[in-house]
Chains A and B, each alone.
Chain A
Amino acid sequence: MNIEVAKDREFMLPASRGFIVISLFVAVLLEWLPWRGWLLALRPDFVALVLLYWCTHKPHRIGIGIAWVFGIFVDVADASLFGQHALAYSVLAFGGLVLNRRVQMFNLREQSVHVFGLLLASYTVYALVHWQVRGYVAWEYFLGSLTSALLWTPLTLLLQALRRPHRDPYEL
C-alpha cells in the first residue's frame, strides 16, 4: 500500500462513514463546552467546519441531510429555534458540495478564504432567521465566522493526519 500519499492526491485518502460521524460528534461536543462571555462570541463553529471539511473532501459520503440532522442537534443544545442551525448548515453543506472541486485546487491558506465566504453565508442565514423571528441581530456573532475560518488550516491538517493510514512500526 502506498503510504506516502502525494500532496495533490491527499483528498483521495479513505474515510469510513464511522469516522465521519465520530468527527462530527466530537465537533458537537467541542461546541457544547461551557463557553462564556467573549469566548462565546469568538467560539468557532466546529460543527460547521467539520461539515465543510467532509463536504469538500468526501462529497459522496456526506450530504445536506446529515448536515441538517446535526443542525437539529445543535438547535436543541443551543435552545435556538428548531431548524435555525439546520437551515444554516444545509446552506453550508450545499456550498461545500458545489465548490468542492474548486476548493481542492487551492492550498490551505487560499482554501481558508473560500471557507470564510461559505461560513459567512451560513452565518448570515442564521442571523437572518434570528432577525426575522426575534427582530434584532447581534453583530459580534459574525466574529465566530472569522475564528472558524482561521481554524480551517489546523483542522484540515489534523483530520488529514487522522485519515492517513498508520505506519507499520516494523516496516523500518
Chain B
Amino acid sequence: MEDTRTLRFFNRGPSAVARLVFFAMLSLLLLFVDARYRYLESAREIIAIIIYPLQRATALPSEILGDIGAYFSLQRHLIADNEKLHLQHDADAAQLQQMQSLQAENEQLRALLDVKQRAAYTMQMAQIVYLERDIFRRKLFVDKGAQANVQAGQAVVDNTGVVGQVTRVYPWLSEVTLVTDKDHAVPVHAVRNGLRSVVFGSGNISELELRYQPVNADIQVGDELVTSGLDGTYPPALPVAKVVKVERDPAYPFAHIVCVPLAGVDRHRTLLIVSSVPPLPERPASEGSQDEPQRLHKNAKRSKP
C-alpha cells in the first residue's frame, strides 16, 4: 500500500509555502488583470462553455420537479383555460353577429347615399323608430318630424324604391304609411310602354295591386312600375313595384294584376324622406272627383287613435 510509507517532505518538489506563494501570486495577477483590464473575458467564456453541461446538470433536478408539478396541475389549468376560452368565444360570437348586422347596415347606408346623390331632390335620412303593431295598417314611425321640416304627404324611399308616404307629422316623429298599406295609392307608369296607372296597397306587406286596368291592358309579368310624378306627391321615376301575376278573366271588367314592391318595405332601418318636390300649380276644381292625396288624407284621419 502506497500510503503506508513515510511521508517524504523533502523530495516532493517545491515546499508548500513556495507553492502557496506561487499560486497566490498567480491568483493576484489574475485578479488584477481581470479587475483592471478585462483581458480574460475570452478565457472565461471558454471555461464557461466547458462547465456549461455540468451547470445544466445541476439545474436539471429542480427543472424536472417543476415539470412534474406542471404535469399534475395541468388538468386543472386546462379546465380553467377551457372555461375562459368558452366565455371569450361567446363574447366574440356576439360581437361577430353585431358586426355582420353593422356591415349590412353600412351597405344599405352607402346605397342610400348613392340615391341621395343621384336624385335631384333634397332628401333627409330618417331612422325607423317604431313599427306599428296593427297588422292591418302598414305604418311605421321615423325619427324626423316637424322640427326637421318634414311635411305630411312627402314620399319616403329607400335605396331601391318607394317605401311609402309621410301621413302625419309630430314634432320629432313622423308616421309613414307604406305603399302596401290597404288602399294606399301611388300613381305609376310602366317603364316598358309608359302605361299610366295607379298601384294600390293590398294590406299584405309583400303585395300591391294594379287596379282598374282593362282585361286587354298591355301589362305583362315582369313589367316594372315607376312613379309617374303626376300627382305632385312623388317625384317621378322612382321604382315602385314589379308585376308578378296577371289574370285576365273576361268575366270581370278589370284584369287582376298583382305586383310586389321593389323597395325593402319591411326590411331596412334607415329611410330617406324626399323633402322638396317642386309644387304643382293648383288643380282646377272639378265636380265629384276624388284625387289620391285627399283619399290618403282621409285615410290618415281615420287611423287616428
Contact = CB atoms under 8 A, between A and B. Distances in A.
B30 interface: yes
Contact of A32 (B26, B44, B58): B58
B305 to A, nearest CB: 81
Interface in B83-99: none
A33 B1 contact: no
Query: Interface of chain A, helix or strand or loop or mixed?
Result: helix
Contacts of A82: 30-31, 33-34, 40, 43-44
Interface in A3-23: 12-14
Contact of A12 (B4, B27, B55, B58): B4
Contacts, number: 96
Interface residues of A, number: 37
Nearest to A69: B23
A133 B61 CA distance: 35
Interface in B12-28: 12, 16-17, 19-20, 22-24, 26-28
A81 B38 CA distance: 10
Contact of B23 (A13, A68, A77, A133): A68
Nearest to B22: A64
Given A60-B12, A73-B51, A81 B31 contact: yes
A44 interface: no
A63 B59 CA distance: 30
Contacts of B111: none
Interface string A59-73: 110011101100111
Nearest to A86: B27
Given A64-B16, A65-B19, A68-B23, A76 B48 contact: yes
Interface in A95-129: 97-98, 129
B55 A81 contact: no
Contacts of A60: 3, 7, 12
B59 A34 contact: yes
B31 A83 contact: yes
Contacts of A133: 31, 35
A129 B24 CA distance: 12
A71 B27 contact: yes
A90 interface: yes
B44 to A, nearest CB: 6
Given A14-B2, A60-B12, A133-B35, 9 more contacts: A12-B4, A32-B55, A33-B61, A68-B23, A68-B27, A81-B30, A83-B31, A90-B24, A91-B24
Interface of A: 12-14, 25, 28-30, 32-34, 58-60, 63-65, 67-68, 71-73, 76-77, 81-84, 86-87, 90-91, 93-94, 97-98, 129, 133
10 contacts: A29-B57, A30-B58, A64-B23, A67-B23, A68-B27, A82-B43, A83-B27, A83-B29, A86-B23, A97-B16
Interface of B: 1-4, 7, 12, 16-17, 19-20, 22-24, 26-31, 33-35, 40, 43-44, 47-48, 51, 54-55, 57-59, 61-62
